[in-house]
Amino acid sequence: MSVFAPSFQLKRRRILVAGGAGFLGGHLCEKLLGDGHLVTCLDNFQTGRLENIEHLLCNPRFTLIRHDIVNPLPGIGDADQVYNLACAASPPKYQQDPIHTFKTNIFGAIHLLEYAKEQNATILQSSTSEVYGDPKISPQPETYLGNVNTVGPRSCYDEGKRAVETLFYEYRTQHGLNTRIARIFNTYGPRMSPSDGRVVSNFVVQALAGKDVTVYGDGSQTRSFCYISDMIEGLMALMAAPSGQGQPVNLGNPTEFTILELAQTVIAQLNSTSKLKFVALPVDDPMQRKPDISRARDLLEWAPQVALAEGLAETIPYFAAHAAHKLVAE
């Protein structure tokens, strides 16, 4: 089932999506193909999943290449646009091989930036709210420089993404490359991996199975949850924005919830018998996350449209069909 309405596009483009078999990547490939473009998906299937894209494989405008962007790129033909969505994004996943995570960010970005330079393509980097670390201000505007630990379990991801922003800035300054940086806040929706370890997938899978819902810490930490279709529209709007848009742009839903509120919402929405179970808060877990999206509103005329209850109502059936039996976190 697609979460998108088709949209009309004037020009057929050749688009490379690195990380195209991931949760965001699969939806992006689907939407771009729906708009008539030629799409090449690169993925190493570390966290990407064939089931996210297998419905696209029969489309003659879709090409899948299994490749890890840590290594130099294979021959992939020409492209007008490059989206870099390639990196595990869930803390338990990116912490499994932190050095590989760091390399994915740095080497991967360099390989894609060099390719975009050769092709004179516009390139968009998926950065993250993690560049703000454990923020001392809320909401977080792009001008906030962050509060990030360089030596902790999240550093491989956070500092990797920060360094990639620097690379994008320098390729733009030194080589005149047309770059875009999206700072993506927590995103959820159908086709998230049930075993991803993220809070929405964990809570829905647990509540569906009637198991304890695992709240880390006391649940007073906050996150702001953006539905997948809103995020994909935001990424595409940023890619399509006039060429001056090299500055980072926050993309996320500014409505903030405590993790306790999320747990209670999921349990209530499912009418589940699950109880809350409080477990230790992971090291360096940020206490708050709420994007200031003024820049995205001004530059892209973009704002999220889907409220949490509505997005959960779309997401729950996916997990019910794909994951009720696969319990993630006991």
Residues 170-209 that bind ligand UDP (CB under 6 A): 186, 198-199, 202
* Sole window of 27-35, 226-234, 279-287, 304-312 interacting with ligand UDP (rule: CB under 6 A): 279-287
221 part of the interface to ligand UDP, by CB under 6 A: yes
282 part of the interface to ligand UDP, by CB under 6 A: yes
Q: How far apart are CA 133 and CA 156, in angstroms?
A: 12
Do the beta carbons of residue 228 and residue 27 sit within 8 Å? yes
Residue 285, both tokens: 């877990």
Catalytic site residue from 115, 132, 157, 188: 157
Shortest distance in whole angstroms from residue 256 CB to ligand UDP: 12
Q: How far apart are CA 114 and CA 174, in angstroms?
A: 12
Q: How far apart are CA 167 and CA 165, in angstroms?
A: 5
Residues 72-111 that bind ligand UDP (CB under 6 A): 90-91
Shortest distance in whole angstroms from residue 92 CB to ligand UDP: 8
Q: Which is nearer to ligand UDP, 39 or 293 (CB)?
A: 293
Q: Which is nearer to ligand UDP, 142 or 158 (CB)?
A: 158
Selected from 61, 285, 299, 324, the binder of ligand UDP by CB under 6 A is 285
Q: Which is nearer to ligand UDP, 94 or 168 (CB)?
A: 94
* Sole window of 66-74, 98-106, 278-286, 312-320 interacting with ligand UDP (rule: CB under 6 A): 278-286
Q: How far apart are CA 293 and CA 45, in angstroms?
A: 32
Catalytic annotation on 132?
Answer: no
Q: How far apart are CA 200 and CA 314, in angstroms?
A: 13
Pairing mode of beta strands 62-66, 38-43: parallel
48 part of the interface to ligand UDP, by CB under 6 A: no
DSSP state of 90: S
Structure-token match 């086709």, residue found: 191
Reported in sequence order, the residue ranges of the chain that DSSP labels E, i.e. its strands, are 14-18, 38-43, 62-66, 81-84, 122-128, 179-184, 187-188, 213-216, 222-224, 226-227, 248-251, 256-258, 276-279
Residue 282, both tokens: 């992971």
140 part of the interface to ligand UDP, by CB under 6 A: no
Shortest distance in whole angstroms from residue 298 CB to ligand UDP: 25
131 part of the interface to ligand UDP, by CB under 6 A: no
Structure-token match 């877990």, residue found: 285
Q: Which is nearer to ligand UDP, 115 or 225 (CB)?
A: 225
Tell me which residue of 138, 188, 213, 207 sits closest to 307, measured CA to CA. Answer: 188
Q: Which is nearer to ligand UDP, 57 or 283 (CB)?
A: 283
Question: Which residues of this chain interact with ligand UDP, rule CB under 6 A?
Answer: 90-91, 186, 198-199, 202, 214-216, 221, 223, 259, 281-282, 285, 329
What residues act catalytically? 157
